[in-house]
């Protein structure tokens, strides 16, 4: 337990900051899940709109140092790769059928 006034204030600030950061991280995880689910379902339009929202949230969290900037970049890259992979999966069967 803190003894000094400044230590008590610091504890209050840390608790508030922790709760704020947790809510930001939770919304990030939710948004990334929405992108992955849309890509897995083959809903490319939804996945692309959700990835734009996710990129914005990731950049904002990285700018405020809630998460590390490299972590944000890595996550955006992986989400983008998942959407591209889903896009190829949707277009590949129609191209294979036309070539036969």
Highest CATH level, class, for 5-92: mainly alpha
Distance in angstroms (rounded) separating the CA atoms of residues 56 and 33:
15
Note the pTM of the prediction, 2 decimals.
0.83
Contact yes or no for 31/50 (Cβ under 8 A)? yes
Percent of the chain's residues with pLDDT above 90: 87
Residue with tokens 């734009």: 52
Within 10 angstroms of residue 56's Cβ, the number of other Cβ atoms is 11
pLDDT-based confidence at residue 90 (cuts at 50, 70, 90): confident
pLDDT in tens, 38-53: 999 999 999 999 999 9
Distance in angstroms (rounded) separating the CA atoms of residues 48 and 56:
13
Distance in angstroms (rounded) separating the CA atoms of residues 47 and 90:
13
């Amino acid at each position: 337990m803190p003894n000094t006034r400044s230590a008590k204030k610091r504890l209050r600030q840390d608790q508030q900051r922790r709760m704020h950061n947790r809510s930001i991280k939770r919304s990030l995880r939710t948004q990334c899940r929405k992108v992955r689910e849309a890509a897995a379902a083959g809903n490319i339009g939804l996945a692309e709109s959700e990835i734009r929202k996710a990129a914005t949230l990731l950049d904002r969290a990285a700018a405020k140092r809630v998460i590390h900037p490299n972590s944000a970049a890595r996550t955006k890259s992986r989400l983008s790769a998942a959407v591209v992979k889903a896009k190829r999966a949707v277009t590949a069967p129609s191209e294979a059928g036309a070539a036969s």
